[in-house]
Structure 1
């Protein structure tokens, strides 16, 4: 169950990174709404990371949390913010995903 909580925490990390970018791109009330989304996302992300680390080793939990956030944020950037998509970016995203899966495989709950 804590692995699911950790994955959700990582998805909220993607949410707060995406909210930061959208807040930067907008002005006025729309920017404030994105800042609100950032605060909500960071609250849930940190709370869920804390909950998952109650039974998972903190080093493993943190590495997986940041990995999910990094991969998700890069993919969001490529899909929605027109960031470059080239072989090396995709290659290193694949290595990050492999590392996340590897940590899950070798971790004992």
Structure 2
């Protein structure tokens, strides 16, 4: 559940980052602002029980990969094997960080 907050925060990050580039009306700028608010709210909630450094690294890594992939799929950005390979390396690092990080309740042996 706690890591789910980080993943959901990263999804909202992708929304607002794309919004920064493509927003062109009050409605789309409002959506971008809402994405920022939700993204950081979820990020802050996750840091209550997970290490902030790891949470932030996972958040930015997923957000970066998600933004690049969204730009490729939705806006037809050029793509090549080097770009895909580097996204894969980034995701391997993010998954690795998540796997080696325990939340604070696991370290203390209690329930949240």
Does TM, normalized by the shorter one, top 0.5? yes
**C-alpha distance after superposition, 1:20-68 (max 9, x if no partner):** 1221xx4xxxx22111011000000000000000011000000000011
Is the counterpart of residue 104 in structure 1 residue 98 in structure 2? Answer: yes
Give RMSD over aligned pairs. Answer: 0.8
Q: Name the structure 2 match of 1:37.
A: 31
Give unpaired runs (5+ residues) of structure 2. 104-112
Give the distance between the partners of 1:92 and 1:77, measured in 2 at CA. Answer: 15
User: Unpaired segments of 5 or more residues in structure 1?
Assistant: none
Instruction: Please report the TM-score for the alignment, with normalisation by the length of structure 2.
Output: 0.89
For 2:73, which of 65, 69, 79 is the aligned residue? Answer: 79
Q: How many residues align?
A: 103
TM-score by length of 1: 0.91
